[in-house]
């Protein structure tokens, strides 16, 4: 295997002095916020189509929602336990400061850059003050017909306490003047907006003017008619508000007899966990925001005053309804049209192809339909006896799940490992588990205390031998990403199909262990977590470090989504200090500070943020100059402690030399040369865009595959 000879990052490295003190690692929460700054920067790029720029703004909002639902919730708990003078409390305060700055920047990009640019093209969100009489009449009619019947304002008094407000729901608070129907001065009212109502409405073309696309936000519709909900009262002050809550399902897996039933019960209360953030509009009066903070038991640092709608994430509904402007450049990226993999001839059985060679699938450049076809052929092949598959995120609608149901009906042995605790996909996965069990599939839920994150699809087939006897042969699909056809068009991932007896036998052992809970022989080909993956990765890093100390070629390249496990980070630092050249291509959070003089000089960290979400995990280690002195793995796991010790994960070697080189040529080298979508991490955790009008790895791959499939 080779990297491009003109690789810009590789240089001769001399001896590096060992520092007296260990390297201080970067803060994880701040690293997550830094990633979202890189996403927001996409919304500021003039070369990105305008509606895609708006989409990046909504992605930042969605990411921040999860940040407050998960990371901040955990950090709050840790800070409370540690005390107000603890490092945990100080780190949380700094993360809050950076989050406020990021949100302010996000709304500035929204208000000052993206929306004015769309307005110049005739695409506008029209507020009440700007509406024509015809538009106001349309909004009023819509409010009376579709909205008002679903609203139930709650005036607060001792018999009407503050209502339960669901996580991320849209609400209004109002201070009322005058007296209520019973002659009392009840001053505060809450209006909860039902989730069933669309958040963005496109007005009819005839009231917008020729060539214009007019939109109105549901919050603006309600704001314009808020007074109609309180006849004979005056609205003295009001504000939209939205609260974010801890959304982890807290189920004691050791104390339940049926995890599925316990989780389904937990789904009903998830929306009402501990509050972590309060969003209000920047015109919200202080007494109203203070009142809300008190109700949600939040401090001032958790209050976010925003210059616009509190639900920017819902503007994806505008993107879905808007259309290109005639005579103008497209407002959208050109669609990704993944082609059928050339390595899988359509006229041949996939099983026949795999008996000859392994097959690599590179998504979204190659179609996920090949994975669906692999399962479809297994379902309809009378010689296939058994199918086993892991499910992490597959979606509420899934052709793969439908095929598994059909496999059971056709009498095949079907085992499905459904991860019930895949965050925010719990309900869909529970529903699939129940449907599969109802038709007779064997459904297991992984290991207590460990999420099943490995991506495996194993098929067992009876085949005839030349001597007339039959044998059972296994075929496997392994993947860095989920079994989700929708995200396979948006994420970069690598799938791998093989009939290799060693790999398929070890994949079978993974399923056996998950189902039986019995100890299995240590795999030779696969790395598996939580058992040996971490230790074997450490061994690989140390082998590279030893080669560097001996003065031979020593190289590590890791591409993944996060690097936060301290043990692996310390090993990388030690290898770099020994003289190994190390490149980390990390989309999201990386806690390793590169480029520190005398400490991490030979380690470089870069992040690529483009039109596709970088999701593939590729691990390359070289400890010499011979063919046997290097190895390349693909993996389901990021370099995080949870993946190494609290999840079922796999990594597998790419054994075919041609496929190994292809992984390097498509998944590593282009990203190390990217000078369009790449960012270089600095030693203090900041990122600097590598923008030299150079190549974009993703665009180069899209162009290459379009030509290949033409």
Which are the catalytic amino acids? 453
Report the relative pairing of strands 200-202 and 188-192 from DSSP bridges: unpaired
- Residue 615 marked ligand-binding: yes
Helix (H) / strand (E) element for 295: namely helix 286-296
> Which DSSP state fits 26?
P
- Residue 491 marked ligand-binding: yes
Tell whether omega for the bond before 364 is within 30 degrees of 0, i.e. cis: yes
With the CA atoms of 33, 251, 398 and 403 taken in that order, what torsion angle do they form, in degrees rounded to the nearest 10? Answer: 140
CA pair distance 643, 514, nearest whole angstrom: 16
From the CB of residue 84, how many other CB atoms can be counted at a distance below 10 Å?
Answer: 10
CA pair distance 277, 70, nearest whole angstrom: 12
Structure tokens at 100: 């406020």
Tell whether omega for the bond before 119 is within 30 degrees of 0, i.e. cis: no
The CA–CA distances, whole Å, from 400 to 223, 313, 376, 457, 482 equal 44, 29, 8, 11, 11
- Residue 271 marked ligand-binding: no
- Residue 37 marked ligand-binding: no
From the CB of residue 145, how many other CB atoms can be counted at a distance below 10 Å?
Answer: 9
CA angle 694/695/700 to nearest 5° reads 165
Coil/strand/helix, residue 214: strand
Coil/strand/helix, residue 127: coil
Tell whether omega for the bond before 530 is within 30 degrees of 0, i.e. cis: yes
Cβ-proximal residues to 442 (8 Å cutoff; 6+ apart), any chain? 413, 414, 415, 416, 515
- Residue 195 marked ligand-binding: no
- Residue 708 marked ligand-binding: no
> Which DSSP state fits 157?
B
Structure tokens at 94: 């700094």
CA pair distance 516, 495, nearest whole angstrom: 27
The CA–CA distances, whole Å, from 337 to 333, 334, 493 equal 12, 9, 15
CA pair distance 459, 413, nearest whole angstrom: 10
**What residues does 306 pair with on adjacent strands?**
281
CA pair distance 181, 166, nearest whole angstrom: 28
Cβ-proximal residues to 356 (8 Å cutoff; 6+ apart), any chain? none
Output b/e per residue, 252-261; b: 16+ Cβ within 10 A: eeeeeeebbe
Length of the chain: 710
CA pair distance 412, 47, nearest whole angstrom: 52
CA pair distance 496, 473, nearest whole angstrom: 17
Coil/strand/helix, residue 277: strand
Binding residue ranges:
63, 393, 423, 491, 587, 615
Residues comprising the binding site for Mg(2+)?
393, 423
Binding site for ATP: what residues are annotated? 63, 491, 587, 615
């Amino acid at each position: 295997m080779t990297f491009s000879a003109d690789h810009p990052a590789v240089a001769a490295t001399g001896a590096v002095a060992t520092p007296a003190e260990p390297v201080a690692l970067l803060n994880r929460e701040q690293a997550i916020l830094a990633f979202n700054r890189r996403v927001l920067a996409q919304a500021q790029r003039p070369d990105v189509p305008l509606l895609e720029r708006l989409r990046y703004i909504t992605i930042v909002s969605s990411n921040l929602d999860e940040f407050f639902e998960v990371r901040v919730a955990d950090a709050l708990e840790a800070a409370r336990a540690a005390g107000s003078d603890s490092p945990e409390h100080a780190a949380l305060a700094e993360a809050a400061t950076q989050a406020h700055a990021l949100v302010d920047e996000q709304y500035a990009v929204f208000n000052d850059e993206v929306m004015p640019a769309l307005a110049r093209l005739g695409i506008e969100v029209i507020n009440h003050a700007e509406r024509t009489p015809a538009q106001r009449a349309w909004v009023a009619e819509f409010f009376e017909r579709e909205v008002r019947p679903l609203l139930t304002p709650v005036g607060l008094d001792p018999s009407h306490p503050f209502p339960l407000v669901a996580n991320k729901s849209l609400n209004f608070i109002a201070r009322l003047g005058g007296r209520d129907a019973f002659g009392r001065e009840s001053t505060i009212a809450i209006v909860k907006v039902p989730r069933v109502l669309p958040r963005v409405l496109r007005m009819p073309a005839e009231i917008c003017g020729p060539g214009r696309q007019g939109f109105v936000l549901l919050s603006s519709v309600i704001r314009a008619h808020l007074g109609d909900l309180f006849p004979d009262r005056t609205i003295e002050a009001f504000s939209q508000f939205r609260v974010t809550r801890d959304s982890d399902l807290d189920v004691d897996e050791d104390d339940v007899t049926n995890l599925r039933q316990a989780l389904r019960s937990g789904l009903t209360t998830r929306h009402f966990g501990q509050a972590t953030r309060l969003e209000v509009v920047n015109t919200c009066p202080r007494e109203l925001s203070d009142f809300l903070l008190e109700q949600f038991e939040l401090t001032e640092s958790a209050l976010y005053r925003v210059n616009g709608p509190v639900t920017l994430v819902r503007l994806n509904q505008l993107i879905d309804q808007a259309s290109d402007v005639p005579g103008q450049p497209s407002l959208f990226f050109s669609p990704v049209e993944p082609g059928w993999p050339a390595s899988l001839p359509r006229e041949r059985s996939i099983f026949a192809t795999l008996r000859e060679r392994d097959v690599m699938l590179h998504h979204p450049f190659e179609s996920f339909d090949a994975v669906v076809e692999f399962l479809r052929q297994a379902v309809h092949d009378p010689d296939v006896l058994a199918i086993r598959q892991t499910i992490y995120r597959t979606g509420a609608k899934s052709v793969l799940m439908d095929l598994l149901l059909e496999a059971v009906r056709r009498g095949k042995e079907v085992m499905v490992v459904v991860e019930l605790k895949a965050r925010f996909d719990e309900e869909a996965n529970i529903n699939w588990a129940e449907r599969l069990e109802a038709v007779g599939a064997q459904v297991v839920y992984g290991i207590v205390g460990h999420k099943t994150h490995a991506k495996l699809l194993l098929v067992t087939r009876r085949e005839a031998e030349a001597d007339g006897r039959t044998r059972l042969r296994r075929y496997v699909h392994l993947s860095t990403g989920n079994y989700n056809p929708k995200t396979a068009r948006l994420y970069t991932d690598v799938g791998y199909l093989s009939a290799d007896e060693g790999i398929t036998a070890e994949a079978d052992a993974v399923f056996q262990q998950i189902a039986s809970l019995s100890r299995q022989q240590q795999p030779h080909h696969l790395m598996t977590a939580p058992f040996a993956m971490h230790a074997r990765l450490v061994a690989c890093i140390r082998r590279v470090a030893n080669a560097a100390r001996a003065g031979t070629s020593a190289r590590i390249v890791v591409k993944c989504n996060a690097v936060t496990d301290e043990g692996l980070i310390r090993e990388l630092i030690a290898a770099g200090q020994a003289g190994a050249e190390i490149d980390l291509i990390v989309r999201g959070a990386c806690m390793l500070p590169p480029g520190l003089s005398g400490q991490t000089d030979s380690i470089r960290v870069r992040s690529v943020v483009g039109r596709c979400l970088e999701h593939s995990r590729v691990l390359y280690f070289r400890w010499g100059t011979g063919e046997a002195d290097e190895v390349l793995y693909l993996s389901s796991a990021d370099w995080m402690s949870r993946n190494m010790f609290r999840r079922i994960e796999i990594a597998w070697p790419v054994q075919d030399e041609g496929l190994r080189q292809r992984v390097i040529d498509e998944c590593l080298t282009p990203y190390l040369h990217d000078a369009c979508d790449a960012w270089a991490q600095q030693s203090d955790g900041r990122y600097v865009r590598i923008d030299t009008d150079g190549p974009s790895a993703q665009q180069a791959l899209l162009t290459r595959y379009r030509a290949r499939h033409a």
